């Protein structure tokens, strides 16, 4: 199957893509900024031993929407962002203090030489042969943050996931504003932090 | 003498344009610089959020241009001096701007497109795909070889020499499978008991979780190493053998580079047209404000260029209106300044000639008046002299019968003296025009009152004043009444007691920079003879039996006093129309 994918990739620019050019021109002219709201971020948050453990996962995504560009030798990028807030006193319930902000980016690719999927991040590369496992790993991220909560203070966490199903390479980054259909961003989701 | 300065100072306009230009260039350099930097480094185009903000300046420029165009259209409709010339200049400047910027844009974009097309040619794509395929095939070959060899009986037999002659075993292994670069054998506890390598590999302790026959890949510096694990038994003792092979140095890096390049090539194939359109968009986005600024500058330049021409046109209009005192000042030392100086000299000479002409005309007029006066005075003097001579003769010949002729002769003398008194009074009226007292006059009401006065005296004549519009103008009401009375009387006289029609109408017109009221008094009378036409405004010229010949000269003088013009068109047997243009504001 992988050989077939590679063959597709080899002939991609010469055959299939030319047919798609007109479609992309139309897309460019329309310049729609599509923000798909069907996707949601799932966050599992726990606090123990002065450490916050968070599992962030993008749900509601069709695996095909990740796999198709990746199998076309493109890179997918996902950014997981968390913000830890300390709630204000009753005097001003609408304001909160930002305590910590962390973002992690990982990239998903198909490695044709070793015939494996890879999820790369600052922590290194993880290889996958199974498509489903790759998609699950790519759309998930764990955070393990040291945190010493103050007594009698309450905290909450905002989480957000930004997905680029196709990451443009320079100089094609100029196209980013016009192809918003490759970008999906979940709203900030609030989760109370309980010990 | 009124002198016109050569246009309002354009310094503020020039400074504004320069400031705008500097702001624009700074904005473009910063914004475009950041975008280009983001593009080259592959960072997301975060600055695009300011794209809307940076639209403020082009919108401002566009609005300024539209305001200027609107003003120009208004000027053109009002037929303001220089409006057409300014339009032509603007079209010219805009055309020049487009002529220079559009080819530049096309050229720049074509260069980029051609460069990209040649860089991402199908040959490059084939080379990259081929290179990648070689890497894939090589990787497959090595993996396959390692798997096949590790599961072969030969490998098991070679491992049998492990305890007796390990060096021989290694040499045999290398001879049979030169691709293998290292061998390590571990005991059941995972402790390394034997290790051979032709490369400087650092074999770590055995990972007992490794499954037999499964390839593992690891990096040793710049080299990728492929390992495979085999279990075997010797003398009922279990051992683990790990053979490794090294890929050529930087194999993975180079393969990664090819993959990355192919990724870029794929994006080029996929988004080539979109990329070109995006380039056009950004190029237009950044060059449009400069183009708009150049058009705005052309408005300023056009104003500056046409100013002397406008002043010249205005001055010509003033001269045409009879103001010979108007002069244009020019600070510049260019061709237009020479033109302005020539114009000023011409107007000065014209004024001198006019004054001279007026003086000559005055002299001629007075000579004519004197002749006419002498003639008019001489006419009654003859009967007076004859009457006096008759009385004297009768008194000398027969004084008793003097009573018979005394009364008619003295009556004749008195009658002629009265005529002389009347003649002198009219002459005095003509010579000494009263001082004008200007006030706002509604022309329609003025004519209505005037016609009412005449209504009883001309029952057979129809007077139509429906064409008199409700226009107000500044004039002396008595003198205005004198003008129209004279003209209407002349019109009535032209019917010789017969039927006729007098049509009076008025319109508001623009001459040069001034608004005028044009009054037309048309009659269907006998008309004026061709030979009389040049003389009708001459004092004492009359075609009537009892006319004084001072009516029309007085009318002309009043019109002139009001800074207006009077002329006529007449056709014998059809009628006469008098035209009077009076300025609405004095």
Q: From A166, which residue of chain B is nearest by alpha-carbon distance?
A: B267
CA-nearest of B551, B556, B558, B555 to B476 is B558
Q: What DSSP string runs through chain A? A: -HHHHHHHHHHIIIIIHHHHHHHHHHHHHHT------S-EEEEEEEEETTEEEEEEEEES--HHHHHHHHHTT--EEEEEEEEEEEEP-TT-TT-EEEEEEEEEEEEEEEETTTTEEEEEETTEEEEESSHHHHHHHHTEEEEEEE--PPTT--EEEEEEEEEESSPPPTTGGGGGGG-GGGEEEPPPEEEEE--
Ramachandran assignment for A31, one of left (phi > 0), alpha (psi -120 to 50 degrees), beta (any other):
left
Q: How many whole angstroms separate alpha carbon B36 and alpha carbon B38? A: 5
Query: Whole-prediction pTM value?
Result: 0.58
Q: How many whole angstroms separate alpha carbon A129 and alpha carbon A122? A: 21
Q: What DSSP string runs through B364-406? A: HHHHHHHHHHHHHHHHHHHHHHHHHHHHHHHHHH-GGGHHHHH
Domain with A117, as residue range(s), is 41-192
Token pair belonging to B330: 């020019």
| Residues A24 and A63 grouped into a single domain | no
**Residue A133 sits at the chain B interface (C-beta within 8 Å):** no
Q: Do A172 and B122 touch (CB under 8 A)?
A: no
Q: How many whole angstroms separate alpha carbon B7 and alpha carbon B23? A: 28
Instruction: Report CA B219 to chain centroid distance, whole Å.
Output: 69
Q: Is B582 within 8 Å of B559 (Cβ atoms)?
A: yes
Q: Which of residues 51-80 of A touch B (CB under 8 A)?
A: 72-75
Q: Do A24 and B274 touch (CB under 8 A)?
A: yes
- β-pairing verdict for B223-234 and B461-467: unpaired
| Residues A27 and A82 grouped into a single domain | no
Q: What DSSP string runs through A32-57? A: ------S-EEEEEEEEETTEEEEEEE
Q: What DSSP string runs through B148-211? A: HHHTSHHHHHHHTTTTT-HHHHHHHHHHH-TT--EEEEE-TTS-EEEEEESS--------TTPP
Q: What DSSP string runs through B437-497? A: --EEEEHHHHHHHHHHHHTTT-TTEEEEEEE----EEEE-HHHHHHHHHHHHHHHHHHTTT
CA distance A135 to chain B (A): 20
**Residue A27 sits at the chain B interface (C-beta within 8 Å):** yes
Chain A residues with CB-CB distance to B259 below 8 A = 73, 111-113
* DSSP designation for B9: -
- Residue B264 makes CB contacts below 8 A (sequence gap 6+) with A169, A172
Residue position matching structure tokens 């790993």: A137
Confidence check: pLDDT of A80 > 90: yes
CA distance B41 to chain A (A): 7
Residue position matching structure tokens 């519009």: B469
**Residue B274 sits at the chain A interface (C-beta within 8 Å):** yes
- Residue B10 phi, psi dihedral angles, 5° rounding: -95, 5
Q: Residue A179's pLDDT is what?
A: 87
Confidence check: pLDDT of A82 > 90: yes
| Residues A31 and A90 grouped into a single domain | no
**Residue A29 sits at the chain B interface (C-beta within 8 Å):** yes
Q: Is A100 within 8 Å of A84 (Cβ atoms)?
A: yes
End-to-end Cα separation, chain B, in angstroms:
17
Chain A residues with CB-CB distance to B256 below 8 A = 113
**Residue B118 sits at the chain A interface (C-beta within 8 Å):** no
Q: Is A171 within 8 Å of B39 (Cβ atoms)?
A: yes
- Residue B343 makes CB contacts below 8 A (sequence gap 6+) with B312, B315, B316, B328
CA-nearest of B387, B391, B385 to B403 is B391
| Residues A96 and A18 grouped into a single domain | no
CA distance A87 to chain B (A): 30
Chain A residues with CB-CB distance to B252 below 8 A = 113
| Residues A61 and A102 grouped into a single domain | yes
Q: Residue B208's pLDDT is what?
A: 60
Q: Residue A162's pLDDT is what?
A: 93
CA distance B111 to chain A (A): 15
**Residue A175 sits at the chain B interface (C-beta within 8 Å):** yes
Q: Residue B202's pLDDT is what?
A: 64
Q: From A76, which residue of chain B is nearest by alpha-carbon distance?
A: B263
- β-pairing verdict for B461-467 and B500-511: parallel
What is chain B's pLDDT, residue by residue, as a tens digit (586 residues)? 444 444 445 567 777 777 877 877 787 777 777 776 766 665 665 555 666 666 777 788 889 889 989 989 998 888 787 888 888 888 888 888 888 888 888 888 888 888 888 878 878 888 999 999 999 999 999 999 999 998 888 888 888 877 778 888 888 888 988 889 988 888 888 788 888 888 766 666 566 666 777 778 888 888 888 888 888 888 888 888 889 999 999 998 999 899 999 999 989 888 988 988 888 888 888 788 888 888 888 888 888 788 777 888 888 887 877 777 777 777 666 777 788 888 888 888 888 888 888 788 778 777 777 777 777 777 778 888 888 888 888 888 888 888 888 888 888 888 888 888 877 877 777 777 667 788 999 999 988 888 887 776 677 888 898 999 989 999 998 888 889 988 988 888 888 888 889 999 999 988 767 889 999 999 999 899 888 888 888 877 888 777 778 888 889 888 988 888 999 999 888 899 999 999 988 6
CA distance A43 to chain B (A): 26
Chain A residues with CB-CB distance to B113 below 8 A = none
Q: How many whole angstroms separate alpha carbon B322 and alpha carbon B547? A: 31
Q: How many whole angstroms separate alpha carbon B573 and alpha carbon A90? A: 107
**How many domains are contained in chain A?**
2
| Residues A134 and A153 grouped into a single domain | yes
Q: How many whole angstroms separate alpha carbon B66 and alpha carbon B475? A: 42
Q: From B129, which residue of chain A is nearest by alpha-carbon distance?
A: A10
Q: How many whole angstroms separate alpha carbon A30 and alpha carbon A20? A: 15
Q: How many whole angstroms separate alpha carbon B266 and alpha carbon A16? A: 11
Q: Do B122 and A72 touch (CB under 8 A)?
A: no
Residue contacts between A and B (CB atoms, under 8 Å): 111
Chain B residues with CB-CB distance to A79 below 8 A = none
Task: Give kind and range of the element (H or E) at residue B567.
Answer: strand B565-571
**Residue B40 sits at the chain A interface (C-beta within 8 Å):** yes
CA distance A82 to chain B (A): 20
* DSSP designation for B434: P
Chain B residues with CB-CB distance to A10 below 8 A = 129, 133
**Residue B217 sits at the chain A interface (C-beta within 8 Å):** yes
Q: Residue A2's pLDDT is what?
A: 41
| Residues A17 and A94 grouped into a single domain | no
Q: From B217, which residue of chain A is nearest by alpha-carbon distance?
A: A114
Q: From A28, which residue of chain B is nearest by alpha-carbon distance?
A: B274
Q: Do A24 and B252 touch (CB under 8 A)?
A: no
| Residues A67 and A158 grouped into a single domain | yes
| Residues A135 and A165 grouped into a single domain | yes
Which of A171, A176, A181 is the best residue to mutate to test the B interface, defined by the most B CB atoms within 10 Å of its own CB? A171
A123-179: pLDDT as tens digits: 888 999 999 999 999 999 999 988 888 877 888 999 999 999 999 988 888 888 888
- Residue B150 phi, psi dihedral angles, 5° rounding: -65, -25
| Residues A75 and A165 grouped into a single domain | yes
Domains in chain B, start-ordered, CATH in brackets? Answer: 2-121+265-320 (no CATH), 144-258 (3.30.450), 335-431 (1.10.287), 439-583 (3.30.565.10)
| Residues A87 and A31 grouped into a single domain | no
CA distance B5 to chain A (A): 54
- ipTM of the modeled complex: 0.72
Task: Please state which of the ranges A20-29, A180-189, B92-101, B396-405 shows the lowest mean pLDDT.
Answer: A20-29
Q: Residue A33's pLDDT is what?
A: 34
| Residues A14 and A32 grouped into a single domain | yes
């Amino acid at each position: 199957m992988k050989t077939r994918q590679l063959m597709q990739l080899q002939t991609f620019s010469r055959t299939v893509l030319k047919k798609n050019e007109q479609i992309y021109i139309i897309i460019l002219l329309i310049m729609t900024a599509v923000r798909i709201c069907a996707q949601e971020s799932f966050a599992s948050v726990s606090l123990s031993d002065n450490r916050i453990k968070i599992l962030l996962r993008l749900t509601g995504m069709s695996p095909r929407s990740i796999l198709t560009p990746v199998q076309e030798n493109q890179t997918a990028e996902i950014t997981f962002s968390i913000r830890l807030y300390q709630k204000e006193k009753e005097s001003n319930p609408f304001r909160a203090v930002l305590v910590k902000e962390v973002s992690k980016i990982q990239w998903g690719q198909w490695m044709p030489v070793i015939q494996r999927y890879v999820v790369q991040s600052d922590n290194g590369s993880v290889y996958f042969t199974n498509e489903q496992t790759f998609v699950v790993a790519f759309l998930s991220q764990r955070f393990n943050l040291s945190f010493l909560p103050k007594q009698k203070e309450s905290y909450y966490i905002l989480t957000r996931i930004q997905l680029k199903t196709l990451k443009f390479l320079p100089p094609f980054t100029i196209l980013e504003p016009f192809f918003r259909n490759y970008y999906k961003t979940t709203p900030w989701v609030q989760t109370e932090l309980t010990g | 003498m009124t002198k016109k300065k050569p246009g309002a100072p354009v310094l503020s306009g020039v400074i504004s344009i320069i400031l705008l230009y500097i702001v624009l260039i700074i904005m473009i350099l910063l914004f475009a610089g950041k975008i280009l930097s983001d593009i080259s480094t592959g960072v997301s185009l975060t600055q695009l959020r300011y794209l809307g903000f940076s639209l403020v300046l082009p919108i401002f420029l566009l609005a300024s241009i539209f305001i200027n165009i609107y003003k120009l259209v208004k000027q053109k409709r009002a037929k303001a001096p220089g409006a057409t010339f300014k339009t032509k200049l603007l079209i010219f400047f805009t055309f020049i701007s487009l002529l220079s910027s559009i080819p530049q844009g096309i050229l720049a974009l074509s260069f980029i497109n051609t460069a990209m097309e040649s860089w991402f040619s199908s040959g490059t794509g084939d080379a990259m795909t081929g290179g990648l395929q070689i890497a894939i095939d090589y990787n497959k070959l090595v993996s396959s070889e390692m798997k096949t060899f590790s599961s072969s009986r030969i490998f098991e037999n070679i491992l049998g020499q492990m305890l007796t002659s390990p060096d021989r075993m290694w040499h045999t292994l290398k001879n049979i499978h030169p691709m293998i670069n290292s061998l390590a054998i571990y005991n059941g506890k995972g402790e390394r008991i034997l290790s051979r390598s032709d490369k400087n590999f650092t074999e770590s302790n055995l990972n007992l979780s490794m499954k037999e026959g499964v390839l593992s890949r690891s990096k040793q510096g710049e080299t990728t190493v492929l390992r495979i694990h085999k279990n075997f038994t010797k003398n009922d003792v279990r051992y683990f053998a790990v053979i490794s092979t090294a890929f050529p140095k930087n194999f993975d890096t180079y393969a990664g580079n090819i993959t990355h390049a192919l990724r870029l090539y794929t994006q080029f194939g996929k988004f080539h047209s979109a990329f070109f359109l995006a380039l056009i968009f950004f190029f237009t986005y950044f060059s449009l404000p400069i183009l708009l600024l150049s058009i705005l500058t052309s408005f300023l330049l056009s104003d500056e260029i046409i100013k002397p021409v406008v002043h010249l046109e205005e001055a010509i209009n003033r001269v045409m209106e009879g103001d010979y005192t108007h002069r244009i000042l020019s600070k510049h030392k260019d061709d237009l300044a020479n033109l302005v100086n020539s114009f000023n000299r011409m107007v000065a000479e014209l004024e001198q000639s006019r004054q001279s002409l007026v003086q000559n005309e005055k002299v001629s007029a007075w000579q004519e008046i004197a002749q006419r006066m002498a003639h008019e005075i001489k006419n009654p003097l003859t009967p007076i002299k004859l009457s006096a001579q008759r009385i004297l003769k009768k008194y000398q010949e027969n004084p008793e019968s003097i009573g018979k002729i005394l009364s008619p002769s003295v009556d004749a003398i008195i009658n002629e003296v009265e005529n002389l008194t009347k003649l002198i009074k009219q002459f005095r009226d003509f010579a000494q025009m009263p001082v004008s007292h200007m006030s706002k006059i509604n022309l329609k009401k003025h004519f209505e009152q005037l016609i009412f006065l005449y209504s009883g005296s001309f029952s057979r004549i129809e007077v139509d004043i429906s064409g008199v519009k409700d226009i107000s103008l500044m004039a002396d009401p008595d003198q205005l009444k004198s003008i129209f009375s004279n003209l209407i009387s002349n019109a009535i006289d032209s019917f010789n007691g017969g039927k006729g029609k007098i049509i009076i109408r008025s319109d508001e017109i623009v001459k040069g920079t001034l608004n005028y009221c044009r009054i037309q008094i048309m009659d269907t009378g006998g008309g004026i003879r061709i030979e009389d036409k040049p003389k009708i405004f001459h004092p004492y010229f009359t075609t009537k039996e009892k006319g004084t010949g001072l009516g029309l000269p007085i009318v002309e003088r009043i019109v002139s006093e009001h800074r207006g013009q009077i002329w006529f068109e007449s056709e014998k047997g059809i009628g006469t129309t008098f035209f009077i243009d009076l300025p609405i504001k004095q």
